[in-house]
Amino acid sequence: MPASSSVTVGASSGPAHESRLDIAADLLALLHDTATEPRVDMQLEALTLAVAADLPVLLWGEPGIGKTAALKQLAAALDLPLTTVIASVHEPSDFSGLPVVGDDPAVQGVPMAPPDWAVRLASAGRGLLFLDELSTAPPAVQAALLRLVLERRVGALRLPAGVRIVAAANPRSSAADGWELSPPLANRFVHLQWRHDHEVVVRGLGGTWPRASLPRLDPDRLSEAVTFARRAVCHLLAARPALVHRLPSNEAQRGGPWPSPRSWEMALCLTAFATAANASRDVLSMLVRGTVGDGPGLELLAAMDRMDLPDPEALLADPAAADLPERGDLRQAALDSVVEAVRRRPEKPRWDAAWTLLARALETGAPDLVVVPASTLAALRRADWDVPAAIEQLAGAVSLSSQADEAAARVAAVAGTGR
């Protein structure tokens, strides 16, 4: 009976099983049927800016946080065919090409045949090449990837301009048999740290994910954006020549972003794109720090801030109508530059104008920002210069600040003696 029953069930189970699989397929289709919505997402914005700039991008993040899913969604949103290549399961010849002997090698040479995925990309003329699990690729494979990432060449084949390259990697501590990236390969990428956003994950699991889209570049700002980017990078490197090329001594840091002429060129390109797209400062920070590293990247951002400071001579020419920066650090720098300008050319009208400017700063901003410039400006007074009326407006703020400093010093002294 058991055997007979088993045969009977087996004979009639085919259509039933097919029907059940069809129902399962319907359920899977419903689960995969998700929508997208416009949403401010700095990670996606930085990624799409780098893709628009045609620079190779490397997403760093722990396993399972959605790097691959983000790339699939990006490819779908940009209508680009996605080609995924797991770097660690390929041989170096898969990227450098396989030698193929022709009719007469002495005349024609031996061409390096590209793999099928490269031929498909070339035939399509456009696409998104996704190099996954890059940190598990051994050094020989990483060396073979150098020409692909920089020159877009696979064997004898050159990928068309419509192909963009994005890679993903896990930190060595969480990668399966991971390797540190070699410095030459790391220096060819824009490194973006990929982190999950709790709200994005919850809303996405509910069926709605953020939508990726290429940045809207303002056609009227293209020339201005290039000029601004060149000024910012060149002014910084002229003042800090040591930053032009600095190979980290630590092996792990060499596998990340670090400054070189190549990465500074990428930083310049991304600065121009971010400026033309009116991207936020946070997005620009992610991009420049992802090319030249945290320290040099922050110095570049500070150099951009100084470029936006008003001309001290213009402030002295019309102090009553001066438009001072809102940010405290920039306002302090602007006031310091005015006092320095008076120091370089000390004249009574300029000295008076500086006091008028400090009085205006006191009216429109924090009082403590005028204390140091006022003290320095007072020390520049010549014996035959009358005290301007604007000083009276500042006397209270300077005196109050001095009293606060003295009180703080007394408290610190008492704490230091343990009483």
User: What is the model's pLDDT at position 364?
Assistant: 83
- Please return the burial class of 95, using the count of CB atoms within 10 Å of its CB with bins 0-12, 13-18 and 19+: buried
Distance, CA of 245 to CA of 294 (rounded, Å) = 14
Provide the token pair at 322.
Answer: 């001066």
Nearest to 259 by CA among 291, 288, 233, 292: 292
Six token digits for residue 332: 């302090």
d(CA 236, CA 284): 16
pLDDT tens by residue, 71-99: 888 888 888 999 999 988 888 888 887 77
pLDDT tens column, 166-189 = 999 888 666 556 678 899 999 999
Which position has the higher pLDDT, 258 or 325? 258
Q: Distance between CA 259 and CA 91 in Å, rounded? A: 30
Look over the chain and give the mean of its residue pLDDT values, rounded to a whole number: 84
pLDDT at 403: 43
The answer to whether residue 288 scores a pLDDT higher than 70 is yes
What is the residue extent of each domain of the chain? 37-99+111-210, 219-307, 312-417
Q: Give dist(CA 403, CA 213) in Å, integer.
A: 55
Unique residue bearing structure tokens 């049927």: 33
Quick: pLDDT tens for 362-380. Answer: 888 888 888 888 888 888 8
Our CA dihedral for 356, 362, 363, 364, rounded to 10 degrees, sits at 110
Question: What's the pLDDT at 9?
Answer: 46
Q: Tokens 């121009």 appear where? A: 272
Alpha helix positions (H), 33-78: 42-52, 67-77
Percent of the chain topping pLDDT 90: 38
The CATH-assigned architecture of domain 37-99+111-210 is 3-Layer(aba) Sandwich (3.40)
Q: Rounded mean pLDDT of 121-128? A: 92
27 vs 109: which has the higher pLDDT = 27
Check residue 404 and give its pLDDT.
41
Confidence label for 233 from pLDDT (cuts 50, 70 and 90):
very high
pLDDT tier for residue 407 given thresholds of 50, 70 and 90: very low
pLDDT, one tens digit per residue, over 307-352 is 878 888 989 999 888 888 888 888 888 898 899 999 999 999 999 9
Question: ∠251-253-256 over CA atoms, to 5°?
Answer: 120
For the ranges 7-21, 24-38, 246-260, 329-343, the lowest mean pLDDT is seen at: 7-21
Q: Is the dihedral of CA 381, 385, 388, 393 positive or negative?
A: positive
| Amino acid, res. 336 | D
More reliable by pLDDT, 216 or 412? 216
Q: What whole-number percentage of the chain has pLDDT above 70?
A: 85
